[in-house]
Every structure is written in structure tokens, then in C-alpha cells.
């Protein structure tokens, strides 16, 4: 068989294959398959926010959220020391050793709330904070343009599976914990005291 005949056969096959694919894509009124919708890329963390997070919690800190999280017109961020490669056990969420919420106050970053061995803000220990020191938390968070940021902390090591909700309270202008129904704010305690048994 000569080469020109082989070339024309190959071209004819390629052309018929292209026409068949085009027919399949446009024929019978069907639409071409649409690519799966991809989750929009997370915005890059500004260097200023990452530097502030590292200053509070050390290098390698992960910024989880940033923006007007309290819906008070001020820039804030949620950052944590995330525990790498932690299996998800009974409680969903991100395992963290420490976490903070900080706010930009006239160019200076100020810590508003901290989760380390306990949950606390500028006024003391948040309500429902375990008396026993916590070595880590499962952190769940959500951020809504209408309701702002909500945080949910579950102690990992105390045996308690009670989840503590934390939100910004516009009345007191600080982050406070919520009651067990997540609808009323709880006041802080200036110190943690172990309950004592009363002997009769």
C-alpha cells in the first residue's frame, strides 16, 4: 500500500471521528456535560494578618477566618495552632491546641478571646469552661454575613462532650459563651474555683 493512500485513510478516520464526537455533543437536543462546580478558592490571608497571628500564637499558626467577623465594622481574624493529622473521632471539627480571635483597633491587633487550657476573654473565664485544664479542643466555626461568626469548642481530653458556643455579644462588645441552647449569653468568672465538698 502506498503512503498517500495510507495518509488519506488516516485523515478520513480522524475526520469521521471528529464528526462523530461533534454529533454526540450536539445531537438529540442534549447539552454537553458541564464540569463539576468547584468550590471557590479561599482568599489568600493578607501578610499583615498572618504576621499578627504568628505574633500571638507562634510561627506555623493557621488563620481560619478573617474579615468583619463580629459585624461591628472592625477587621478581625480567627487563628489557631492546628494539630496535624488528627483523626476525627466522635466530634467533628478541627483539632487545635490554642485559638484566638483578634481585632484591629486603630492599626494595632488586640486579642479579644483565647482558647488554650480554658476559654477566656478580657473579663475572665467564659461560662461553661471546664474547671479541669484542657489540652486541646475540637473547633467548629461558621461565618454568616447576617449573623457573624459563631464558634463551637468541644474539649478533647476531659471526657466531656459538651460543646461550648461562643459569639460576639453586641451589648457587651465582647465574645462570650452561650447557654446550652445557644441563645443567651453567659457572664464571665474572674477565676476558676474547684467546688468543695461540705462535710456535716
What is the spatial distance between Cα 128 and Cα 115, in angstroms, rounded to a whole number?
A: 13
For 58: left if phi > 0, alpha if psi spans -120 to 50, otherwise beta; the answer is left
Name the DSSP class of 133. Answer: -
- pLDDT by position in tens, the chain (length 200): 444 444 444 555 655 656 555 555 555 444 444 444 455 566 799 999 999 999 999 999 999 999 999 999 999 999 999 998 765 665 678 999 999 999 999 999 999 999 999 999 999 999 999 988 999 999 999 999 999 999 999 998 766 678 999 999 999 999 999 999 999 999 999 988 754 433 33
Supply the DSSP string of 80-118, one letter for each residue: EEEPTTPPP-SS-SEEEEEEEEEEEETTEEEEEEEESSS
Name the DSSP class of 62. Answer: E
Amino acid at each position: 500500500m502506498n503512503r498517500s493512500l495510507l495518509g488519506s485513510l488516516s485523515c478520513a478516520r480522524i475526520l469521521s471521528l471528529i464528526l462523530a464526537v461533534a454529533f454526540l455533543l450536539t445531537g438529540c437536543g442534549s447539552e454537553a456535560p458541564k464540569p463539576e462546580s468547584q468550590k471557590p478558592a479561599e482568599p489568600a490571608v493578607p501578610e499583615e494578618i498572618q504576621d499578627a497571628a504568628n505574633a500571638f500564637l507562634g510561627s506555623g499558626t493557621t488563620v481560619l477566618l478573617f474579615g468583619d467577623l463580629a459585624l461591628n465594622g472592625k477587621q478581625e481574624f480567627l487563628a489557631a495552632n492546628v494539630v496535624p493529622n488528627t483523626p476525627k473521632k466522635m466530634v467533628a471539627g478541627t483539632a487545635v491546641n490554642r485559638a484566638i480571635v483578634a481585632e484591629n483597633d486603630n492599626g494595632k491587633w488586640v486579642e479579644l478571646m483565647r482558647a488554650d487550657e480554658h476559654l477566656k476573654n478580657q473579663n475572665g473565664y467564659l461560662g461553661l469552661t471546664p474547671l479541669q485544664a484542657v489540652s486541646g479542643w475540637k473547633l467548629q466555626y461558621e461565618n454568616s454575613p447576617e449573623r457573624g461568626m459563631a464558634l463551637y469548642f468541644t474539649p478533647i481530653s476531659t471526657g466531656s462532650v459538651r460543646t461550648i458556643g461562643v459569639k460576639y455579644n453586641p451589648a457587651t462588645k465582647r465574645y462570650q459563651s452561650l447557654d446550652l441552647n445557644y441563645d443567651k449569653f453567659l457572664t464571665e468568672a474572674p477565676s476558676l474555683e474547684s467546688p468543695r465538698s461540705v462535710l456535716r
